[in-house]
Amino acid sequence: MKLNDIPKHNIYKVPEGYFDSLPMRVMEQTAAKGAGASAAPRFSSFWQPVRLVLAPLVLLLVFVGVFLFSNDVVQQQPQPEYVALGTLPEAEIVDYLDSYARLETSDFDEVSLSDQELTAEFLNISSEAAEEELEYYQLNKLIY
């Protein structure tokens, strides 16, 4: 099927006298709306400036409410305790770092602890695992 084969004719028909009576019908409808609209301009003229004043005030009240609410929430949260690191014993600091920081023994070189042995506690490795690791690297062949 081709578009050129379709006959071209207007399938829509305008009722007789439609455009003759159209201006009168439009005038009748606008006149009917105009008679009932006499109270609306006074009402809209009053609310238009009121809306312009109320909109920023409502927005300001919302911002103030959010600000005050967020400050109350922040103030209700418990504040963390701060401890001066200089007052803590070095052994406690090393224990904390050993437990939570996952540091290596070389990181503890600067810490001078005469009363604590770091290697046994820090490495957390069995003697069998240490021997296996040493055998893997074959240290006897590396020594000259």
For 91-121, the pLDDT digits (tens) are 887 777 777 776 666 666 665 555 555 555 5
Closest to 117 (Cα-Cα) out of 133, 141, 98, 102: 98
Task: Please check whether residue 3 lies inside any domain of the structure.
Answer: no
Question: Is the whole-model pTM more than 0.75?
Answer: no
- Give the domain range for residue 42: 19-76
Domain end among 27, 58, 76: 76
Instruction: Note whether 68 and 92 are same-domain residues.
Output: no
Work out whether the CA dihedral 102, 104, 109, 115 comes out positive or negative: positive
Confidence of residue 135 (pLDDT cuts 50, 70, 90): confident
Distances in whole angstroms, Cα of residue 80 to Cα of each of 73, 76, 83, 85: 15, 12, 10, 15
Task: Specify the pLDDT at position 27.
Answer: 92
Task: Please check whether residue 127 lies inside any domain of the structure.
Answer: yes
Instruction: Note whether 67 and 110 are same-domain residues.
Output: no
Domain end among 51, 76, 101: 76
Task: Please check whether residue 5 lies inside any domain of the structure.
Answer: no
> Which tens digit of pLDDT belongs to each residue from 30-77?
887 776 655 555 667 778 888 888 999 999 999 998 888 887 666 666
Task: Please check whether residue 58 lies inside any domain of the structure.
Answer: yes
